[in-house]
Structure 1
């Protein structure tokens, strides 16, 4: 008797707080059951440094706020059969998109000059260029499943992943709502 093939899953966070990944970890003992059904092939939760060529399910948390975010979103779309937008930042832009109402130069001045007592300077090395405007993931790449919540509950993540594992299209609206 052969063992069923596990589906491959990749996750990443873009501009956000990583709360959605924390909700993923809140699956607690269900992580053991999940590990029997999926291989996490790329994630901040594992040590893999490169996204594989083909991934069954990609999960992106956070909004697209920088050139690095945009590059990662495009990479995920190119390599992942299904792409999930996880959490309100990925689905709507949420808190990171609040800067869209201001000039980028004013935001940078406020963050790095007005509210700083040491080294009043805008960083230029090792920091990705910011984009204007901040966008939800689907503002740049095609998304297959939207899972709102700030963050989505572990139960909602469990439901969505299990539906996908079983070959069904999940209806996240039955277990989620924006902001909760």
Structure 2
């Protein structure tokens, strides 16, 4: 009897709160079943520092708000056979995109000059350049599966992963909705 091939899965969060990764962990005992069928090859949940050349499923949460977010989203698209946009920030920009209603210079001045009591200044070292506008992941790279929710439930994430493990196209609309 031949062993079922294990899926290589990579996850990352861009501009967001990491709540979607917390929902992933909320699968509780299903994580044990997943660990028998997938290898997490890159994630903030593991200590891997390099995205492998070939990944079966890439899962991104958060929106694209800065140069580092964009570079990581492009790397995931290049290396992942299936790219999943996980959560409302990834699907529609959500809270990070609220700054789009204001000029970037005004946002930076408010955050780093007006509301700072010690050494008000714009950061210029070690901080990725902010983009003029925040966009959802599909605003920059092609996405295969959209899973809305803030955050999506552990059940929704499980259903998507289970479908992918079975070789089916997931239909998140059957068990998700925006903001829930």
Deviations 1:78-117 (A, max 9, x none): 0000000000000001111111110101001111111112
Instruction: Single out whichever of 89-98 and 115-124 deviates more from structure 2.
Output: 115-124
Separation (CA, whole Å) in 2 of partners of 1:171 and 1:15: 25
Separation (CA, whole Å) in 2 of partners of 1:132 and 1:30: 40
- Structure 1 position 119, deviation (Å): 2.1
Structure 1 residue runs of 5 or longer lacking an equivalent are none
Alignment of 1:119-158 (within 5 A): 119-158=119-158
Separation (CA, whole Å) in 2 of partners of 1:138 and 1:81: 15
- In structure 2, what is the equivalent of residue 37 of structure 1? 37
TM, length-normalised to structure 2: 0.98
Q: Does 1:97 align with 2:97?
A: yes
SS, match of residue 81 in structure 1: strand
- In structure 2, what is the equivalent of residue 24 of structure 1? 24
Deviations 1:127-158 (A, max 9, x none): 00001111000000000000000000000000
Separation (CA, whole Å) in 2 of partners of 1:33 and 1:54: 23
TM, length-normalised to structure 1: 0.98
SS, match of residue 151 in structure 2: coil
Superposition misfits of 4+ residues, deviation over 4 angstroms: none
Separation (CA, whole Å) in 2 of partners of 1:115 and 1:161: 43
Instruction: Single out whichever of 106-115 and 73-82 deviates more from structure 2.
Output: 106-115
Separation (CA, whole Å) in 2 of partners of 1:158 and 1:119: 47
Aligned residues: 180
